[in-house]
Structure 1
C-alpha cells in the first residue's frame, strides 16, 4: 500500500526570535488523517513551531504542506488548505459582531471585496452552531467572555473548511464541558479525513489525541502514539519526572507524581 503524503514535513527547521534561536534544527513528519498534540514545558518552542508550520514566522530549513514545499503555496491557496487558531487573536476587533468574525474564515473562498455567498452563510452558521456560539452571533466580540470569544474564534477556523487544522491552545478560557466539546469537534474532523495539530498544556486532554509530539529546548524529543509506553516515558522525562501517566477508565491521564 502506498504511504500517504504527510500533512507536514520539515527538515533542519530553525527559527530565531529577537536574536535567540528558538527552534534548533527540527526534523519531523506529521501524518494526515490523525490528531497530533504538541506538548512540552513552558518555553519549549511549541507555539513557535506551530507558527512556523503555518508560515506565520520566517524560518530556515525546509517545510512541506501536503507534500508541496511551503514556498510554492500562494497565500489564498494555503489559507484554504490550512486553518489557524492562535492565542490572543482579534485584538482590535472588539466592535466586530461574532458573526462577522466567524465570516472571516470564508475570505479565502471569495474574490477580494465580494459579498458572502449563500454557501458562505451556510458554512458560518454550521460552524457557529457546532461551537455553540450561534445564540450570540449579533453581539460584539468585546462584549463576550474569554470562553465565548474562544468559541467564536474556533467557529471562524472551522468555517474555512480546510483539511488541516492548526490550533494553539484551543481550550484556553473554556470550562471543562466546553473543552470536551472542542475535543469532540477535533475528533470528528479527523474521523472525516481531516488532520489536526494542537498545542495543549492540559496533558490529560492531550493524551486523547492519536499522537504526541514532545518538544523541549527547541527540539523534538519524541513523536509517537499516545498509547505507547515510549511516549509516556518521554512525557514523564520532559517534565523531570514530576508527572506520571496512568491508565484510567480506558483513557490515559497525567497526574503529579506524589
Structure 2
C-alpha cells in the first residue's frame, strides 16, 4: 500500500490550469524528488498532498483513507510539512520552536508524554541546532532558521514527510546533511517527497523522481532511468553533463539548448 497518493489531481487558479490530472503514488521507504521548471506546479501539488490546498479535481489518499476525511489533528500527526522559506514570527527559543512539532501528539489536555523530550533532542542533534537551543529563533541566520524548522518537522515523526525546497539557503555541507537525513527517514519507512531545483543533488539522493512540466507529469522514474533518455533536457531546455561514480550515474546542468539562447 502506498503511504500517500494523488489521484487525478487538478487545480485551477482563475483562468490558469496549475495542475492537470496528476497521478503520483509514494510508497513507504521512498525518497521521491519533485522536480520541474518554475511554474510547473510543484509547490501547489505539495500543498494539495499536505491537505493545505483543496484540489478542484481528484484527491489524495493517506494509506487507505481519503485525506479530506481525516481529522485535522490526525492529519498533522501523520503528515509533516516543511514550507518553503517559512518565517518565524514569534521570539521563541530554538528548543521551544522544535517542540512545536510534538503538538499534534499531545492529548486533549495538552500534556506532554515521555516520547516528547527524546524526539525533540534527537531532531535538534540531527539538524545540527542543539548548540543553539537557547537562542531566540528570530535572531538566527536564514540557514540556521531553516535547519530549526526542519528539526521541528522531524520531531513529529510523521509517516509522510513533504518538504518544499529544504536545501535552499543552506551551505553545501548542510545541504548534504539535510538530504542524508531525508534519505534516512525514508530508509526508516517514511514516505518522503521533496521539491528541489538542484538537479545534481536530486539525482544523487532521490530513489525516484517525478518530473513536472506545465502542470502535468512528464516522467516518473529512477535517476538512472531518467538519465538514460533526454526527458530532463527536453523539459528544462538544457544540455546535461553526465557522469557516474561508483556505478551510479549523475549529471549537472551544463548549457542552454541552442533554441533557448537569446
Question: 2 CA distance for matches of 1:50 and 1:245?
Answer: 29
Q: CA deviation at 1:117?
A: 3.2
Please state how far the C-alpha of 1:19 moved relative to its aligned partner: 4.7
In structure 2, C-alpha distance between the alignment counterparts of 1:232 and 1:36, rounded to whole Å: 19
Q: 1:11 Cα deviation (Å)?
A: 2.3
1:24 Cα offset (Å): 1.5
Change (3 A) 1:143 1:18: farther
Mapped to 1, the partners of 2:132 and 2:29 lie a distance apart of: 32
Residue 189 (1) aligns with residue 185 (2): yes
* 75-84 vs 35-44, greater mean Cα deviation: 75-84
Taking structure 1 as the reference length, the TM-score comes to 0.92
Paired residue for 1:206, among 202, 205, 229? 202
Partner of 1:70: 67
What TM-score do the two structures reach when normalised by structure 2? 0.90
Whole-Å Cα distance in 2 between the matches of residues 140 and 113 of structure 1? 27
Determine if contact 1:131/1:182 at 8 Å carries over to the other structure: yes
Can you list the C-alpha shifts for 1:178-206, whole angstroms capped at 9, x where unaligned?
A: 11111111111111122210000111011
Matches within 5 A, 1:218-233: 218-229=215-226, 232-233=229-230
Distance 2:8 2:252 in 1: 31
> Quick one: which of 150, 163, 169 aligns to 1:167?
163
TM-aligned CA distance change 1:230 to 1:181, over 3 Å: closer
Runs of 4+ in structure 1 off by over 4 angstroms are 229-232
Mapping 1:46-195, distance limit 5 Å: 46-60=42-56, 61-93=58-90, 95-112=91-108, 114-195=110-191
Distance 1:229 1:130 in 2: 31
Q: How many residues align?
A: 252
Q: Aligned-pair distance for 1:91?
A: 4.0
Cα 1:84–1:15 shift into 2, 3 Å: same
User: Is the CA contact (8 Å cut-off) linking 1:82 and 1:164 kept in structure 2?
Assistant: yes
